[in-house]
Structure 1
Amino acid sequence: MTDLFRRALAVALLFVAVPVTHAAGQRIDSASVAPRRMKIDTALAAIPAPPLSPRRAFVYSLLLPGFGQSRLGRPGAGAIFVFTESLAIGMLRESMADLREARVFRRDSLEYIGNDPASGAPIMHRNAYNDELISIRRGHVEDWVAFLIANHLFAGADAYVAAHLWDLPSQVNVSQTSAGTRVSASIRW
């Protein structure tokens, strides 16, 4: 009986292990099942992708003003932000040097200007480097830091908008006429 059981088990496993295929005589009724339609979006295929996403353009120009504009093919706008950044950094360094100078010379009580030519007595002048001057110069440093932050934010916002409008063909012209300055813009639709 065990031999018969083994043979039956082997035949059962053989039927289970053999892959089942579709019966050739049974076809799907074409009247009841509609063919699948392919979804094709022709509107999206016609729009080319921008070189940078708006978020990436914003981040690029936020970190390095002018870089996002450069990547979007707007080197003129990028150059303006780079020039503004370099000018602000130079003025920040100058303001920091003035503040450092005012802090160093604050402890001096009198300045020796020279000798009076008539009497030969030394001419002394009260020190102009006081706490009020230090406060004013600290304000200058803070102003230039705020200007730098604003330049970064404006550059990022400009790059963000430029990434959204990068494929809009527009031309802006500024020209000098006898009546004054003329600004014209042409936009092709």
Structure 2
Amino acid sequence: MKRVVAPGPPGRRITLPLIVLALSWGTPVSAQEVTGEGVAQDSVDLPDSLITRPSPAGAFLRGSIIPGWGHAASGSLTRGAFYFGIEAAAGWMVFKTWRRLGVARNQVALWEERVTARLMSEGITEQEEIDAQLEQHDEITRLRGLVDARSEQREDWAAVAIFFLLMSGVDAFVSAHLQDFPEPLTVEGDPRGTISVTIRVPVG
């Protein structure tokens, strides 16, 4: 006698394909995660020993050409920004005093022309006498003093700019020399109140 097996409920037939499908979808996801970790491991930061630093002479040359360049190349960004800012301010003041000096000289020339034309119209043609009258003129005397003062200001600011330009080169030279040195002095303490001072001196 043949046994008739009744078909099972449809939910069981659908469950098995869904499990297989879920497993097949899970495999690429895990593979992508492993691939991402592999990519992350491939991007390795270079150690400091492999980073090219300028020589002390090169740092001095950079710092003497453009303030802060030698420090930036050596990794001292704060010092480089300081020297660049100081040199920019000094250069701006040199330019500003140079323009003001030009304005003062133009005013002197204008007043001298006016007074000379008036003296010549009065019949004074001797150059020595005209110069004597110009020396005694109040406005011309004031403007000439202004020219002298602004000329001195320009020279002072130019000296400041040159000084900090050289200081930038020298400081960059020293920074390049000391960039590989360890911290020379460390102070450590413990809960018992003992303080230890450690001095490190490189020997080779």
TM-score between both structures, scaled by the size of structure 1:
0.54
The residue that corresponds to 2:68 in the other structure is: 66
Q: Which has the higher strand share?
A: 1
Deviations 1:36-84 (A, max 9, x none): xxxxxxxxxxxx6971111110000001110000000000000001100
CA 1:166 to 1:84, structure 2 compared with 1: closer, same or farther past 3 Å? same
One-letter identity of the residue aligned with 2:169: G
The residue that corresponds to 2:159 in the other structure is: 146
The residue that corresponds to 1:119 in the other structure is: none
User: Which whole-Å CA distance do the structure 1 matches of 2:154 and 2:65 have between them?
Assistant: 21
Instruction: Give the 3-state SS of the residue equivalent to 1:130 in structure 2.
Output: helix
Number of aligned residues: 115
User: Which whole-Å CA distance do the structure 1 matches of 2:80 and 2:169 have between them?
Assistant: 11
Deviations 1:84-138 (A, max 9, x none): 011011111110111011101113279xxxxxxxxxxxxxxx5375222211111
> CA shift at 1:188, angstroms?
6.9
Alignment gaps of 5+ in structure 2? 1-48, 115-137, 185-196
User: Which whole-Å CA distance do the structure 1 matches of 2:149 and 2:183 have between them?
Assistant: 45
Instruction: Give the 3-state SS of the residue equivalent to 1:102 in structure 2.
Output: helix
The residue that corresponds to 2:178 in the other structure is: 165
The residue that corresponds to 2:18 in the other structure is: none
Alignment gaps of 5+ in structure 1? 1-47, 111-125, 172-185
CA 1:144 to 1:131, structure 2 compared with 1: closer, same or farther past 3 Å? same
Instruction: Give the 3-state SS of the residue equivalent to 1:104 in structure 2.
Output: helix
Q: Any conservation in 2 of the 1:61–1:67 contact (CA below 8 Å)?
A: yes
User: Which whole-Å CA distance do the structure 2 matches of 1:142 and 1:86 have between them?
Assistant: 16
Matches within 5 A, 1:13-92: 51-92=53-94
Relative contact order (C-alpha < 8 Å, sep 6+): which is higher? 2
Instruction: Give the 3-state SS of the residue equivalent to 1:99 in structure 2.
Output: helix
Q: How many percent identity over aligned positions?
A: 29
Instruction: Give the 3-state SS of the residue equivalent to 2:91 in structure 1.
Output: helix
Q: CA RMSD in A?
A: 2.9
